[in-house]
Chain A
């Protein structure tokens, strides 16, 4: 009892010490910056390059595993059986293997994905390849039943899981998830859902390894975004600033380059002579530039309404936009200015580094990625080059344990490692049950309401709900006794007949799920669970005893629930 009390106090005291240090820093930052310069607190964020690490101080973390483990877990949804060996065959050093693998992955069209394609075809989806006009005609204009209206969303929700589990284009899947959240739209909305497959296929996936300015232009003209951030209604008579504000704050320069209600001429300029940050007046002026950018409710197609447009002169980020410019010109100038602003290069690079490396990346990674982002701003593969720069930075292979799998990554990686066989069709009940359980874990796909997308930082995912609710899914996945269910994890069918002792069973499944050994103390828990007080080198009656088979399933559940399975 005494020990337990001490542990509890110990935790609190550590927290106190950490928090006190941070509080002292916060005061220092706030007071000195505020005293020294206008908008100083903003400037201090900029020096830090975005959101520095928060939460726990550096503590014991697991040693980084091999490049295969790191890459397959951070640039993908975990290894499928055999993929670690495939990765390791790509070179003789980890650096070589990583480079070769990344070069394959940033050219997804060059990867044969026949298995995934077959499964997509077998799932019976009907909307994945429809044009925007066709989606609108079939799912909006015909005033169909709700389940037909929302069908494209339902299909993409399932196809996304299917691809995470089966596609060999794993980096594309990770980046599609990244960009979906970067340009977040609430998918189940009645105006977004009918066009969701177009948004996913063309705008997000079509540009995930492409050019940022191109993607931004498509985002700005897509009915899903025009509706979500209200620009569809913005006119000279009634401007609506929602889109313009999030364009600056979330999509491009980021809040780290926001100076609030300072006036435009109070913002310092950078080496390029342009303001280093935006202010509210830039948001208001940009709002005017986008007046008249709407869509046709009969066709779903983008429409520019000149009669809604504010034709007079504007100033955005130091650029004068003269009165009476041609159609779309004002908005396109704004998109150019924000897409090519150095702040955007930093903002996007920082977010990508947080996703692909860790929550506290080496600042040199961000510097390097931002430089490539700017230098290759016109390149059709700009974003592929930025991603390549980040993941081939030496710190990629030396960083491990600064991220935790979120629910999507937990579920997808479990189904990959232990070969779950859901069809992900709309009709399959087991898929429906999986999604119902999955949604309770806190990351329902495309269903984050606010425009900032699901959080990425580990602090947001280490609380009890994501942990408990994903544990529940994992223990459900292995629980197939008395169920005529062929979609969850067939533990017994995949256990080799050569493995019959507790040690053998534990080691087979640890290797199968993690692709690497467990720390000895953690492994011992697995073995002892399986042995239940008996000699772990004795054969277990797996073939004759139902309880033993249940225990094996629970043991696999335990490996999936272990700390080792959660690190990224």
Chain B
């Protein structure tokens, strides 16, 4: 199957629209095939439940190794043997089940950032996820997600863009909350209305769009968003998908979801952001001893998935997407240093973030706070030395070209690059509303073109 070209897609749209008297795909009608809408792609993977980062990025030497082994007599990831941690440097190793990720690390495509997290003292799953995904630590009532605010403030987003973001799963990710252009779906194959009496489907679809275009309530807007999403997916992604370069995704919804992201990326419809979740990390009980068991299974799934997505997108020439691909993996918090009596771990604090990118500056980054006495948060958990917003801000500035940190992360004003991805540094704009950016014709409302708001 040849990949549909953007020009072919738009031409196809036009023909369809002519046939449908303009009723079915109006949101696509203005696409200009001469504008290259492709840019950086950011994939945000959220590990829900509090991933045990100390068993993913494992201390392998010195006093911290002894402390770690003493604190985790059963569940520590061993050194040596078939399940040995895989060294990242002299100080840390990756869980054995993360071998596919380790291979990428060895080729310099993985940046590990230690001891990241919230500057909030919360051990609540739900608060922590809200704080992170809304991008406002301490405030879970912020009405939009940080990725939605990235889109609102990005200056390099052409109006022709067809599919700016995809949120894979049954519900739209909170980080994209408020973004009406997001396509939220689990599987493109069933994301359509090819059901019901066939001879009236098209007319029904026209009427449906008219009904949802008939008022401007939030519900009408959400209906139009769904109709637009369906149009785009149905026209572009209804066929079977075959991964490239021999990539093999893990079976199950995580692998399936990442494959959808690869498929959407290759459509060349301008995808900038994709989100994907995998749950099951709340390992209070029996997480697996000696580097094997339940946690190892989850770790294998995640690592295989990330590696498969990277491989799938790592072609040459027009098929090379990894040059503009950045994946970031995070969880709401880490887990306690001490294993509990059920050979599990309870809610903790600091945790690694993992960045996989064709533009990664490979290595272990961030300041390691240590596991010794006086070094732990609340005398129990790995401390946080790197605000999670710092990692995301570096990706926003260096890869996505968006420096409006004050708008995306209100209240955050201490950004310094860690050096986890390459790219051009732009001085951050900490103003909350980005007023310098949107002061003139954007505010007056007479522009019909989003990019006209660019200074």
Which chain B positions have C-beta within 8 A of A29?
Answer: 139
Which chain A positions have C-beta within 8 A of B230?
Answer: 464, 468
Nearest chain A CB to B307 CB, angstrom units: 25
* Distance in angstroms between the alpha carbons of A521 and B215 in the assembled complex: 9
Which chain B positions have C-beta within 8 A of A261?
Answer: 121, 123, 378
Do the beta carbons of A255 and B410 come within 8 Å of each other?
Answer: no
Tell me, yes or no, whether A76 is within 8 Å of chain B by CB. Answer: no
Which chain A positions have C-beta within 8 A of B280?
Answer: 449
Determine the residue in chain A with the shortest Cβ distance to B166: A464
Which size bracket describes the interface of B in this complex?
Answer: 35 or more
Do the beta carbons of A563 and B211 come within 8 Å of each other?
Answer: yes
* Distance in angstroms between the alpha carbons of A474 and B224 in the assembled complex: 18
Do the beta carbons of A563 and B142 come within 8 Å of each other?
Answer: no
* Distance in angstroms between the alpha carbons of A460 and B120 in the assembled complex: 24
Tell me, yes or no, whether B219 is within 8 Å of chain A by CB. Answer: yes
Tell me, yes or no, whether B415 is within 8 Å of chain A by CB. Answer: no
Nearest chain A CB to B377 CB, angstrom units: 8
Do the beta carbons of A26 and B139 come within 8 Å of each other?
Answer: yes
Do the beta carbons of A19 and B448 come within 8 Å of each other?
Answer: no
* Distance in angstroms between the alpha carbons of A233 and B340 in the assembled complex: 11
Which chain A positions have C-beta within 8 A of B214?
Answer: 519, 521-522, 525, 563
Given A260-B121, A525-B214: A23 touches B171 (CB 8 Å cut-off)? no
Which chain A positions have C-beta within 8 A of B219?
Answer: 401, 404, 462, 563, 566-567
Contact with B along A447-477 (1 / 0, CB 8 A): 0011010010011111111111101100110
Tell me, yes or no, whether A102 is within 8 Å of chain B by CB. Answer: no
* Distance in angstroms between the alpha carbons of A250 and B121 in the assembled complex: 18
Do the beta carbons of B341 and A471 come within 8 Å of each other?
Answer: no
Nearest chain B CB to A119 CB, angstrom units: 27
Given A59-B218, A462-B219, A529-B203: A249 touches B407 (CB 8 Å cut-off)? no
Nearest chain A CB to B174 CB, angstrom units: 8
* Distance in angstroms between the alpha carbons of A354 and B244 in the assembled complex: 47
Do the beta carbons of B210 and A468 come within 8 Å of each other?
Answer: no
Q: Given B49, B141, B170, which contacts A466 in the complex, CB threshold below 8 Å? A: B170
* Distance in angstroms between the alpha carbons of A536 and B78 in the assembled complex: 77
Nearest chain B CB to A440 CB, angstrom units: 7
Tell me, yes or no, whether B318 is within 8 Å of chain A by CB. Answer: no
* Distance in angstroms between the alpha carbons of A368 and B215 in the assembled complex: 35
Number of A-B residue pairs, CB cutoff 8 Å, is: 296
Tell me, yes or no, whether A500 is within 8 Å of chain B by CB. Answer: no
Nearest chain A CB to B343 CB, angstrom units: 9
Given A404-B219, A529-B207: A19 touches B144 (CB 8 Å cut-off)? yes
Q: Given B217, B284, B442, which contacts A13 in the complex, CB threshold below 8 Å? A: B442
Which chain A positions have C-beta within 8 A of B267?
Answer: none
Determine the residue in chain A with the shortest Cβ distance to B28: A4
Tell me, yes or no, whether B140 is within 8 Å of chain A by CB. Answer: yes
Tell me, yes or no, whether A131 is within 8 Å of chain B by CB. Answer: no
Tell me, yes or no, whether A376 is within 8 Å of chain B by CB. Answer: no
Do the beta carbons of B142 and A553 come within 8 Å of each other?
Answer: no
Tell me, yes or no, whether B273 is within 8 Å of chain A by CB. Answer: no
* Distance in angstroms between the alpha carbons of A239 and B345 in the assembled complex: 11
Do the beta carbons of B26 and A280 come within 8 Å of each other?
Answer: no
Contact with B along A266-284 (1 / 0, CB 8 A): 0000000000000010010
Residues 152-178 of B at the A interface (beta carbon under 8 Å): 152-153, 159, 167, 169-172, 177-178
Binds A, one of B91-99, B191-199, B297-305: B191-199
Which chain B positions have C-beta within 8 A of A458?
Answer: 218
Nearest chain A CB to B416 CB, angstrom units: 21
Binds B, one of A45-53, A150-158, A344-352, A390-398: A45-53
Contact with A along B323-346 (1 / 0, CB 8 A): 000000000000000001110101
Tell me, yes or no, whether A478 is within 8 Å of chain B by CB. Answer: yes
Nearest chain B CB to A483 CB, angstrom units: 12
Do the beta carbons of B448 and A468 come within 8 Å of each other?
Answer: no
Given A2-B448, A240-B285, A476-B196: A59 touches B217 (CB 8 Å cut-off)? yes
Do the beta carbons of B152 and A519 come within 8 Å of each other?
Answer: no
Do the beta carbons of A467 and B144 come within 8 Å of each other?
Answer: no
Tell me, yes or no, whether A512 is within 8 Å of chain B by CB. Answer: no
Nearest chain B CB to A231 CB, angstrom units: 10
Residues 172-188 of B at the A interface (beta carbon under 8 Å): 172, 177-180, 182-186
Q: Given B152, B183, B208, which contacts A19 in the complex, CB threshold below 8 Å? A: B152
Q: Given A15, A20, A463, A519, which contacts B433 in the complex, CB threshold below 8 Å? A: A20
Do the beta carbons of B218 and A9 come within 8 Å of each other?
Answer: no
Do the beta carbons of A476 and B195 come within 8 Å of each other?
Answer: yes
Residues 428-461 of A at the B interface (beta carbon under 8 Å): 440-442, 449-450, 452, 455, 458-461
* Distance in angstroms between the alpha carbons of A29 and B411 in the assembled complex: 10
Do the beta carbons of B196 and A30 come within 8 Å of each other?
Answer: no
Binds A, one of B35-43, B79-87, B124-132: B124-132
Determine the residue in chain B with the shortest Cβ distance to A459: B177
Contact with A along B229-261 (1 / 0, CB 8 A): 110000000000000000000000000000000
Determine the residue in chain A with the shortest Cβ distance to B194: A472
Nearest chain A CB to B147 CB, angstrom units: 12
* Distance in angstroms between the alpha carbons of A4 and B160 in the assembled complex: 12
Tell me, yes or no, whether B61 is within 8 Å of chain A by CB. Answer: no
Tell me, yes or no, whether B9 is within 8 Å of chain A by CB. Answer: no
Which chain A positions have C-beta within 8 A of B125?
Answer: 450, 452
Nearest chain B CB to A181 CB, angstrom units: 13
Given A26-B410, A233-B342, A452-B126: A19 touches B450 (CB 8 Å cut-off)? no
* Distance in angstroms between the alpha carbons of A526 and B347 in the assembled complex: 54
Do the beta carbons of B218 and A462 come within 8 Å of each other?
Answer: yes
Given A1-B29, A19-B144, A59-B217: A255 touches B127 (CB 8 Å cut-off)? yes
Given A242-B346, A468-B226: A60 touches B217 (CB 8 Å cut-off)? yes
Which chain A positions have C-beta within 8 A of B340?
Answer: 238-240
Tell me, yes or no, whether A22 is within 8 Å of chain B by CB. Answer: yes
Besides A5-B30, A19-B178, A479-B196, 20 other CB < 8 A contacts?
Answer: A22-B143, A27-B411, A41-B139, A48-B141, A54-B142, A55-B177, A233-B341, A238-B340, A241-B284, A255-B124, A262-B121, A450-B48, A455-B171, A463-B171, A464-B184, A466-B171, A521-B214, A521-B215, A557-B204, A558-B211
Chain B residues at the A interface, C-beta cutoff of 8 Å: 26-27, 29-30, 48-49, 120-127, 136, 138-144, 148-149, 151-153, 159, 167, 169-172, 177-180, 182-186, 190-193, 195-197, 199-201, 203-204, 207-208, 210-212, 214-223, 225-226, 229-230, 279-280, 282, 284-285, 340-342, 344, 346-347, 378, 407, 410-411, 432-434, 438, 442, 445, 447-450
What are 29 A-B pairs at a CB distance below 8 A? A4-B26, A5-B30, A9-B448, A13-B445, A15-B148, A18-B144, A24-B410, A41-B139, A55-B144, A56-B221, A60-B215, A233-B285, A241-B346, A255-B126, A255-B127, A449-B280, A452-B126, A462-B218, A468-B185, A471-B193, A471-B226, A476-B195, A479-B195, A525-B214, A529-B200, A551-B200, A554-B200, A563-B214, A567-B219
> Across chains A and B, which 4 residue pairs bring their CB atoms closest together, nearest first?
A238-B341, A475-B196, A442-B170, A463-B172
